[in-house]
């Protein structure tokens, strides 16, 4: 099985990272506790089967689309 890779930018350090989609267990939308509509509203948490997670500057819907695309092809 070939790995599907996606690139995201982290919130904390603004660095690019590569995610192997087969390692993703779930994605959680980042809900801001304020009325701020800035960068926090366009971020989510990507959680891995390893138990680790990363906060990325991508919308929940964009990451969900990537994950759904992976599972459609790789089941």
DSSP the chain: -PPPEEEEEBTTT--EEEEEGGGEEEEEE---SSS--SGGGG-EEEEETTS-EEEESS-HHHHHHHHHHHHHHH-
Tell me the residue range of the domain where 16 lies.
5-32+39-74
Residue 34: what pLDDT? Answer: 58
pLDDT at 29: 95
Structure tokens at 10: 């982290």
How many domains would you assign to the chain?
A: 1
From first to last of its 75 residues, the chain has per-residue pLDDT tens of: 467 999 999 999 999 999 999 999 999 999 875 555 555 568 999 999 999 999 999 999 999 999 999 999 987
pTM across the whole model = 0.85
């Amino acid at each position: 099985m070939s790995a599907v890779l996606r690139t995201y930018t982290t919130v904390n350090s603004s660095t690019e990272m590569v995610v192997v989609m087969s390692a993703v267990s779930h994605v959680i939308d980042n809900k801001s506790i304020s009325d701020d509509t800035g960068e926090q509203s366009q971020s989510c948490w990507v959680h891995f089967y390893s138990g680790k997670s990363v906060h990325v500057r991508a919308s929940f819907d964009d990451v969900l689309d990537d994950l759904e695309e992976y599972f459609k092809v790789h089941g």
